[in-house]
Structure 1
Amino acid sequence: MKAFIGTGVALITPFKEDLSVDTEALGKLVESQIANGIEYLVVLGTTAESATLSQQEKELVKAEVKKVNAGRLPLVLGIGGNSTAGVVEEIKTSDLEGFDAILSVSPYYNKPSQEGVYRHFKAVSEASPLPIILYNVPGRTASNMLPETINRIARDTNNVIGVKEAAGDIVQAMKLISLVPDDFLVISGDDMITLPMTLAGGKGVISVIAQGFPQEFSDMVRAGLNGKVAEAYKLHYKIAPSIDLIFAEGNPSGIKALLAKKQIITNRLRLPLVEATEKLQEKIDDFVDQF
Structure 2
Amino acid sequence: MAIFEGSGVALATPFYENGEINYDVLKDLVEEQIAGGTDCIVACGTTAEASTMTHEEHIEVIRFVCEVVNKRIPVVAGTGSNCTETAIYLSQEAEKAGADGILVVSPYYNKATQKGLIRHFTAVADSVKIPVLLYNIPGRTGVNIEPETIVYLCKNVENIVGVKEASGNFSKIASLMSMAEGCVDVYSGNDDQIVPLMALGGKGVISVLANIAPKQTHHICQSYLDGDVQTSAKLQLQAIPLVNELFCEVNPIPVKAAMNLMGKKTGPMRLPLTDMEPENQEKLKKQMEAYGLL
TM range (shorter): over 0.9
Matched residues in 2 for 1:175 and 1:159: separation? 22
* Maintained 8 Å contact 2:155/2:183: no
- Cα deviation digits, residues 158-177 of structure 1 (max 9, x gap): 10011001101122111111
Name the structure 2 match of 1:208. 208
- Give the residue type in structure 1 aligned to 2:6: G
* Maintained 8 Å contact 2:95/2:128: no
Name the structure 2 match of 1:158. 158
* Maintained 8 Å contact 1:187/1:204: yes
* Maintained 8 Å contact 1:199/1:227: no
Matched residues in 2 for 1:81 and 1:60: separation? 17
Aligned pairs for 1:185-196 (under 5 A) are 185-196=185-196
Name the structure 2 match of 1:99. 99
* Maintained 8 Å contact 1:154/1:181: no
Name the structure 2 match of 1:197. 197
Cα offset, 1:94, TM superposition: 5.0
Cα offset, 1:105, TM superposition: 0.7
Query: Which SS does the other structure have where 1:26 is aligned?
Result: helix
In structure 1, list runs of 5 or more residues that go unmatched: none
Name the structure 2 match of 1:118. 118
Query: Which SS does the other structure have where 2:96 is aligned?
Result: coil
Name the structure 1 match of 2:134. 134
Aligned pairs for 1:62-101 (under 5 A) are 62-93=62-93, 96-101=96-101
- Give the residue type in structure 2 aligned to 1:251: N
Matched residues in 1 for 2:38 and 2:105: separation? 22
Query: Which SS does the other structure have where 2:47 is aligned?
Result: helix
How many residues of Structure 1 are paired with residues of Structure 2 in the alignment? 291
Cα offset, 1:245, TM superposition: 0.4
- Give the residue type in structure 1 aligned to 2:4: F
Q: Among the aligned pairs, what percent are the same residue?
A: 38
* Maintained 8 Å contact 1:170/1:193: no
Query: Which SS does the other structure have where 1:48 is aligned?
Result: coil
- Cα deviation digits, residues 1-55 of structure 1 (max 9, x gap): 3441111111111111211111111111111110111100001111111111123
Aligned pairs for 1:9-48 (under 5 A) are 9-48=9-48
Kindly tell me: are residues 223 and 183 of structure 1, through their superposed partners in 2, closer, same or farther at Cα, counting changes over 3 Å?
A: farther
TM-score calculated relative to the size of structure 2: 0.94
Name the structure 2 match of 1:249. 249
- Give the residue type in structure 1 aligned to 2:16: K
Query: Which SS does the other structure have where 1:96 is aligned?
Result: helix
Matched residues in 2 for 1:183 and 1:176: separation? 10
- Give the residue type in structure 2 aligned to 1:177: M
Name the structure 1 match of 2:109. 109
- Cα deviation digits, residues 73-97 of structure 1 (max 9, x gap): 1100111111223322333455533
- Cα deviation digits, residues 219-277 of structure 1 (max 9, x gap): 01111223312101111111111111011111000100111111112441011001111
Report the more deviating stretch, 28-37 or 174-183.
Answer: 174-183
- Cα deviation digits, residues 164-196 of structure 1 (max 9, x gap): 011011221111111114142011111111110
* Maintained 8 Å contact 2:63/2:97: no
* Maintained 8 Å contact 1:267/1:275: no
Cα offset, 1:148, TM superposition: 0.7
Name the structure 1 match of 2:270. 270
Query: Which SS does the other structure have where 1:135 is aligned?
Result: strand
* Maintained 8 Å contact 2:109/2:142: yes
Query: Which SS does the other structure have where 1:148 is aligned?
Result: helix
Name the structure 2 match of 1:230. 230
- Give the residue type in structure 1 aligned to 2:239: I
Query: Which SS does the other structure have where 1:192 is aligned?
Result: helix
Kindly tell me: are residues 269 and 222 of structure 1, through their superposed partners in 2, closer, same or farther at Cα, counting changes over 3 Å?
A: same
* Maintained 8 Å contact 1:165/1:186: yes
Matched residues in 2 for 1:289 and 1:47: separation? 22
